[in-house]
Chain A
Amino acid sequence: DQQVKQNSPSLSVQEGRISILNCDYTNSMFDYFLWYKKYPAEGPTFLISISSIKDKNEDGRFTVFLNKSAKHLSLHIVPSQPGDSAVYFCAAKDGANSKLTFGKGITLSVRP
């Protein structure tokens, strides 16, 4: 039973355009959400996070939106750059546990 779902396995966008990566979750106890970026043969790298008390967090080109009623979050990257091409993982935790629950990831390709 997947508690964090990234239903699209891949996304391709043109350089300079916006990339929107989606994530859905089922566990209403999740209170903190993170996005990680992963290049081949490397470990995931933390990108941005959001607490459940907020609905938006922005860091440079990256913005994460959280819709708690829909149990949905999204990562916006604008403008997209070829170096953003990687696998992006959505992850979540609940207050009672320190472990992260990850989605399966989405492969983003940014075309020059």
Chain B
Amino acid sequence: GAGVSQSPSNKVTEKGKDVELRCDPISGHTALYWYRQSLGQGLEFLIYFQGNSAPDKSGLPSDRFSAERTGGSVSTLTIQRTQQEDSAVYLCASSFGPLGRQPQHFGDGTRLSIL
């Protein structure tokens, strides 16, 4: 379809391993966001990319988290040396421009489980 695509849909890994999560935004959308939802919580902002501007990393919980967006399209969220508290659903969203009147469209998320 033409929606936001995330992969993998599920990821189970051992504590201490690194993981990479991928997001393919809607074609033509210049803004891309990463959020995560821990059990029983709302969505927590992680990072925001807009065009060629420097990303807003203010939501990243630690330096183990990083993200990049290559060519203004696909984005990868990397978590190094995973911890059990990193277990959550990681959601990617994109929008046509900086969110003013353009709603964010979400993918179905990656469910990450750290053993």
Contacts and interface: CB of A to CB of B under 8 A. Distances in A.
Query: Does B associate with A?
Result: yes
A100 B104 contact: yes
Given A32-B100, A99-B45, A100-B45, A43 B109 contact: yes
Interface residues of A, number: 25
A105 B48 contact: no
Given A98-B48, A98-B99, A99-B56, A105 B105 contact: no
B1 interface: no
Interface stretch (A10-18, A44-52, A58-66, A78-86): A44-52
Interface in A34-72: 34, 36, 41-46, 49, 51
Interface of B: 4, 31, 33, 35, 40-45, 48, 50, 56, 58-59, 91, 93, 98-101, 103-109
Interface of A: 4, 6, 32, 34, 36, 41-46, 49, 51, 89, 91, 93, 97-105
